[in-house]
Amino acid sequence: MTGTNWAGNLTYHATALHQPGSIEELSALVAAAPSARALGSRHSFNAIADTTGVQISVAGLPPVVEVDAAAREVTVSAGLRYGELVEELDQAGWALHNLASLPHISVAGAIATGTHGSGDRNGSLASSVAGLELVTADGTVRSVRRGDPDFDGMVVSLGLLGVVTKVTLDIIPTFQIRQDLYEGVPWESIETDLDAITGSAYSVSLFTDWGAGGAGQAWVKSRADAAPREEFFGARPAARQLHPLPGEQADVATTQLGAAGPWWDRLPHFRLGFTPSNGEELQTEYLVPREHALEAIRAVRALAPRVQPHLLISEIRTIAADALWLSPSHSVGCLAIHFTWRMHVPEVTALLPVIDAALAPCAARPHWGKVFETAPQRLLEAYPRIPDLRALADRLDPEQTFANRLTSHWLSR
């Protein structure tokens, strides 16, 4: 046994956790393993990182943060958590285009599942991957670059193609962000002005419990030179620092109230210095093409009485399209509907097919790192490049060393 995931809702079945200190050691380990899974920072809520063989962490490989200013790229060791590289990057004058709500997740784990932040013009974190180095099942070290054949299948890989050791990311000049929060966005505004709301800033998140009052909070992250708004689509400016969950300690959240600060200290919702303990929560998230956004919101609102007893909070955000085969925002800009659940495992498990059925008409794609119940046939409809990934995995990993029960179910492999 190798412990639990971050949320503690599952215990991994792996027989051992290896943390090689060199690429040579990693190659030998992979080549000898009949069954293996790479393990990142354990933040996924489902068994995607589990195996009955061995888990391999790349967190012990020598740390690398190498900026290539001319190419506007940074190459980082795959096991680094975003929070461990952002300040160094900032000090060198550079930034990543976006971050997830939490900076504590590993780069390789985030990109393997298509993790994203928010913003109409911001693609997922995986969309900024310009290159990868990975060790495939036979122990070979391979490098791939954007534009190479199959590259678009290799980034959001669900860990099926090998152990990623280095990731090259696009960078942009560093920038400052201000974060303004507004309280009480009515459903009427969301119905009439959704595109204007999500397009009103660099990154916008709406938090709701699906109650009659609409979105209790809007988190609006703008470039520092943007003028603050007195009013936000019927919502009032927050007069104090807030946590997405009413009543929770707000000092764990990144600085609000319009104070400008570096991108890495404003784009996540939670502060880097705040170390989350095991979270008493589960998460589910679906991404729907923008054309179905309101239909999807209405479908979840109709489920409010069933959802609310088990919900801590929902977040609504947007993600730009990318070309990556298994990305939840593959080829189309999306609205994401996220659920942070109470740790009500049986009740949430029973609700998952209900939510999936409600969102299926909206061509909803589940987030690979969270809990969901979607039949393989529907996954195939939502993710039409699944057969291409399967073929790529068959080529790079013919013995299915990196498959596990969950990925084989999803991919009907």
Ligand X SMILES: Cc1cc2nc3c(=O)[nH]c(=O)nc-3n(C[C@H](O)[C@H](O)[C@H](O)COP(=O)(O)OP(=O)(O)OC[C@H]3O[C@@H](n4cnc5c(N)ncnc54)[C@H](O)[C@@H]3O)c2cc1C
Contact positions toward ligand X, by CB under 6 A?
A: 6, 37-44, 48-49, 58, 78, 100-102, 105-106, 108-110, 112-113, 115-116, 158-159, 163-164, 279, 283, 367, 369
* 113 vs 318 by CB, closer to ligand X: 113
Minimum separation from the CB atom of position 227 to ligand X (A): 27
Minimum separation from the CB atom of position 118 to ligand X (A): 8
Q: Helices (DSSP H) in 267-310: which residue ranges? A: 293-302, 304-307
Name the residue with tokens 């393990």: 39
* 33 vs 112 by CB, closer to ligand X: 112
* 109 vs 187 by CB, closer to ligand X: 109
Minimum separation from the CB atom of position 192 to ligand X (A): 27
* 187 vs 369 by CB, closer to ligand X: 369
* 122 vs 189 by CB, closer to ligand X: 122
* 46 vs 222 by CB, closer to ligand X: 46
Minimum separation from the CB atom of position 363 to ligand X (A): 18
DSSP-assigned letter for residue 96: -
**Contact status, residue 380 vs residue 386, Cβ threshold 8 Å:** yes
DSSP-assigned letter for residue 156: S
Minimum separation from the CB atom of position 231 to ligand X (A): 27
Name 341's bridge partners.
282, 311
- DSSP annotation string for 334-382: EEEEEEEEES-HHHHHHHHHHHHHHHGGGT-EE-TTS-----HHHHHHH
Minimum separation from the CB atom of position 182 to ligand X (A): 20
Rama region for 313: left / alpha / beta (φ>0; ψ in -120 to 50; rest): beta
* 192 vs 400 by CB, closer to ligand X: 400
When CB distances to ligand X are compared, the closest residue is: 109
State the CB neighbour count (10 A cutoff) for residue 209. 17
Minimum separation from the CB atom of position 36 to ligand X (A): 9
Minimum separation from the CB atom of position 191 to ligand X (A): 25
Residue partners of 227: CB distance under 8 A and separation at least 6 = none
**Contact status, residue 218 vs residue 190, Cβ threshold 8 Å:** no
3-state secondary structure of 193: helix
Beta strand 16-18 with 54-56 is parallel
CA 212 to chain centre: 28
Spatial separation of the C-alpha atoms in residues 30 and 1, rounded to whole Å: 19
Name the residue with tokens 């919702």: 269
* 38 vs 324 by CB, closer to ligand X: 38
Spatial separation of the C-alpha atoms in residues 176 and 264, rounded to whole Å: 9
State the CB neighbour count (10 A cutoff) for residue 228. 12
Minimum separation from the CB atom of position 210 to ligand X (A): 19
* 187 vs 315 by CB, closer to ligand X: 315
Closest CA to 122 of 223, 202, 224, 220: 202
Kindly provide the residue ranges of all beta strands, DSSP E only, lying in 136-198, ordered along the sequence. Answer: 141-145, 163-170, 172-173, 176-185
